[in-house]
Amino acid sequence: QEEHETFFRERLGDVEEPTAPFGLQDVRGDGSDIEEVRVPLIAELAQQVRQQAQRHGVSTASLFHLAWALVLSKTTGHDDVVFGTVLFGRMQGIEGAERALGMFINTLPVCIKTGSQSVDKCLRQTHDALSELMHHEHASLGLAQRSSGLPGGTPLFTSLLNYRYIAPQQEGGTVHTWEGMEVLGGQERTNYPITMSVDDLGNGFQLVGQVSRMIGAQRLCDYLSTAIAGIVENLQAVPRQPLSEISLLRADEQQLLSEWGENTQQYSEAAPIHQLIERQAAVTPETTALVFQDQSLSYAELNTRANRLAHYLIGLGVKPEVRVGIAMERSIEMVVGLLAILKAGGAYVPLDPDYPAERLAYMVEDSGIELLLTQQHLRDTLPMTGGLNVIE
């Protein structure tokens, strides 16, 4: 037990933020939002994976773990990432474990450092990290999580990688491992928003993505395939190149950024949104401008309420370049608050009340806001109101 605690404390003690790709932090789901896709790795790439793993003296599992770490780094914006890896559970079994029935499978966190390090160095470090983890494969996940710098109840990671060996099917498509037994069916469910399995089929590989529909399983499989291809290409040609320079964007995403994401037209006479609403209030004051549930405001009402709050903010010192925090649920008041800040000349800093307390506190400190707009029923739930001028 002490060895386990020492090991995980050394590797996770400085981790103070969950590795949550795309910001997904719910690890208590029921699997109803999960979709699954199966994507075979092309034969040529699968062969290259095995060649490069053999050439660098590592397992193919290490290469896939590094590729998944790269995917997480790109989708979280962090150089050092943590994710769960599924362990067989029998490599360090106690005496007589080979005769024990049942599964010893365990899930434990692995921390991979990417950043500016070269591809070949990252691969070696990943292989070493997995080898060391094998000696602690019977430690509990709870123990590992408690060894991190995260507060209790906060997930250490929200994605899993399961590298598994699948026996190739015999001729006719039947596996004769269990004579006299017939598989009637089955279904996998996961509480994690992102689970990626890599099926090692002996010759080829298959990616099995079980991912929240918000993100898309095909999208994650594409990212992992691109990461694998990029790592293999770099190991063959430029192994000293930093891992972070490998791009995972698909062709359509590249087009979105390079062609469609840049607007070359200039609109020098375009008015900001709050001025457009002022103009509309002058032209059609009674027309409905804003609807939320059973509430609505006309353009005149919306502009009047925003003006009233804007004058109050100016009296508190809001002027151009002054940042004002706004922590509100979706509501009429939220839109009025945004317009008022703009009318006063300030810049609003959106603070989602559902964010973790630590993230909200960091955003407040990092942005340097001294004034916060919020709703009365939220004030007591916000952790960072101390020292701020709070307006309800």
Residue-wise pLDDT tens digits, 283-297: 999 999 999 999 999
Q: What percent of the chain has pLDDT over 70?
A: 91
In a domain? residue 65: yes
**Which structure tokens are listed for 70?**
């790269």
Q: Where residue 195 falls among pLDDT bands split at 50, 70, 90? A: very high
Q: Are residues 246 and 297 in the same domain?
A: no
Q: How large is the angle between the packed helices 43-55 and 217-237, nearest 10 degrees?
A: 50
Range of the domain at 319: 273-391
Q: Report the first-to-last Cα separation within the chain, whole angstroms.
A: 50
Taking CA atoms, 153 is separated from 28, 195, 362, 384, in Å, by 11, 20, 19, 19
pLDDT score of 59 more than 90: yes
221 and 91, same structural domain? yes
If asked whether residues 53 and 134 sit together in one domain, one would say yes
C-alpha triplet 226, 80, 13: angle, nearest 5°: 150
Distance of CA 269 to the CA centre of its chain: 39
Give yes or no: residues 237 and 100 share one domain: yes
Answer yes or no: do 231 and 325 share one domain: no
What DSSP string runs through 280-341? HHHH-TTSEEEEETTEEEEHHHHHHHHHHHHHHHHHTT--TT-EEEEE--SSHHHHHHHHHH
Does 224 share its domain with 327? Answer: no
258 occurs within a structural domain: no
The burial class, CB within 10 Å (0-12 / 13-18 / 19+), for 43 is exposed
Beta partners for residue 349, in sequence order: 325
Domain boundary pick from 253, 281, 299: 253
Is residue 267 included in any domain, yes or no? no
Task: State the pTM of this model.
Answer: 0.66
Instruction: Residue 222: give its domain's CATH number.
Output: 3.30.559.30
What tens digit of pLDDT does each residue of 32-49 get? 889 999 999 999 999 999
- Residue 332 tokens read as 């009429």
**159-165 and 80-87 beta bridge pairing:** parallel
Contacts for 330 with CB less than 8 Å, ≥ 6 apart: 292
Tell me the CATH number at 304.
Answer: 3.40.50.980
284 and 382 in a common domain: yes
In terms of C-beta density within 10 A (0-12 exposed, 13-18 middle, 19 or more buried), how is residue 286 classed? exposed
181 lies in some domain: no
Count of CB atoms situated within 10 Å of the CB of 60: 17
The pLDDT value given to residue 102? 56
d(CA 246, CA 228): 10
Do 210 and 78 share a structural domain? yes
Query: What does the alpha-carbon distance between residue 249 and residue 265 come to, in Å, rounded to a whole number?
Result: 26
Task: State mean pLDDT over 101-120.
Answer: 85
The answer as to whether 244 is a domain residue is: yes
Question: Is residue 42 included in any domain, yes or no?
Answer: yes
Average pLDDT over all residues of the chain: 88
Name the domain boundary from 203, 224, 253. 253
Report the candidate in 334, 339, 331 with the shortest Cα–Cα distance to residue 292: 331
Tell me whether residue 259 is in a domain: no
Is there a domain that residue 348 lies in? Answer: yes
pLDDT tens for 347-358 read 999 988 888 878
Tell how far CA 164 is from the center of its chain. Answer: 23
Residues 163 and 209 in one domain: yes
- Please report which confidence band the pLDDT of residue 361 belongs to, taking 50, 70 and 90 as the band edges: confident
> What is the total count of domains within the chain?
2
247 and 295 fall within a common domain: no
Q: Which amino acid is at 31?
A: G
Contact 169, 190 (CB under 8 A): no
Q: Nearest 5°: CA angle at 308, between 304 and 314?
A: 140
User: Which of 41-45, 69-73, 304-308, 384-388 is least confident?
Assistant: 384-388
Do 244 and 320 belong together in one domain? Answer: no
* Residue 201 and residue 141 in one domain: yes
Cβ contacts of residue 173 below 8 Å, gap of 6+?
none
Residue 370 tokens read as 């001294």
Amino acid at site 35: E
> Given CA atoms 75, 79, 83, 86 in this order, what sign does their dihedral have?
positive
